[in-house]
Amino acid sequence: MLPIASWRPFEAQARNWNRKFSGQATLYDCAGGARDHGALAPPDIVRAILDWTGLPGATRRHWGTDIDVFDRAAHPPGYRTKLLPHEAGPDGVYARLHAWLDMHAARFGFFRPYRTRRRGMCPEPWHLSHAPSARAALAAIDIDMVARAVRGADLLGRELVLEMLPDIFRDHVLDVDRPDAGIGGG
């Protein structure tokens, strides 16, 4: 098991956001299918980004508590990790890794904050959070802190994000699967 993503500074998260908001990067639905960016209204673009990408200033990536993992040993020749649902499914390239994580991650203090759909992020079985550290980080963040970060950022859709922020904060920061219900929470 190797990390493929971990801590990310605000500026890097903002670049990811701006690439997706502008249509330079693909937006995916929860099944991993590409969405037609041009057919989406701006609020739908924001929601589509948030299905897979945390809002700069509100993402768990800033906390230093979360990682995305994959199993390089499971790769067929030339395979490139996509971090899409089919990779973690029963016939996916990382099925064995995720079966192992289901059984053992909690023993090491980790859980999956996006195991189920809930209101926010699409399920991300590869996304692990260190429970004790994440609890402390979650207790330290509030909506005003996120609003200040967004207001001060060169972020595409900034005014729309600020209008949507109460729902974004509730659905994407607070409404995650919890560690106290096992590996996936829920």
Domain count, the chain: 1
Between CA 23 and CA 31 the distance in angstroms is 19
Q: What is the pLDDT of residue 144?
A: 97
- Asked if the structure places residue 99 within a domain, the reply is yes
- Asked if the structure places residue 146 within a domain, the reply is yes
Residue-wise DSSP of 56-101: TTT-GGGTT-EEEEE-GGGPPTT------HHHHSTTSTTHHHHHHH
Between CA 46 and CA 68 the distance in angstroms is 22
Nearest to 173 by CA among 67, 19, 62, 70: 62
Q: What is the pLDDT of residue 118?
A: 86
- Asked if the structure places residue 184 within a domain, the reply is no
Query: Which domain covers residue 110, as residue numbers?
Result: 2-75+94-176
Q: What is the pLDDT of residue 140?
A: 92
* Site of tokens 């993992």: 69
Between CA 37 and CA 26 the distance in angstroms is 8
- How many Cβ atoms sit within 10 Å of the Cβ of residue 86? 13
Between CA 69 and CA 6 the distance in angstroms is 9
Q: What is the pLDDT of residue 184?
A: 40
Q: Are 110 and 131 in contact (CB under 8 A)?
A: yes
Q: What is the pLDDT of residue 64?
A: 87
- Asked if the structure places residue 183 within a domain, the reply is no
CA torsion 123→67→52→115, rounded to 10°? 10
Between CA 138 and CA 63 the distance in angstroms is 9
Q: One digit per residue, pLDDT tens: the chain, 186 residues? A: 656 777 788 999 999 999 999 999 999 999 889 999 999 999 999 999 999 999 999 998 888 899 998 898 998 999 998 888 889 999 999 999 999 999 999 999 999 999 888 888 899 999 999 999 998 999 999 999 999 999 999 999 999 999 999 999 999 999 999 887 544 443
- How many residues belong to the chain? 186
- Asked if the structure places residue 100 within a domain, the reply is yes
**Residue 35 DSSP code:** P
What CATH number is given to the structural domain containing 153? 3.30.1380
- Asked if the structure places residue 85 within a domain, the reply is no
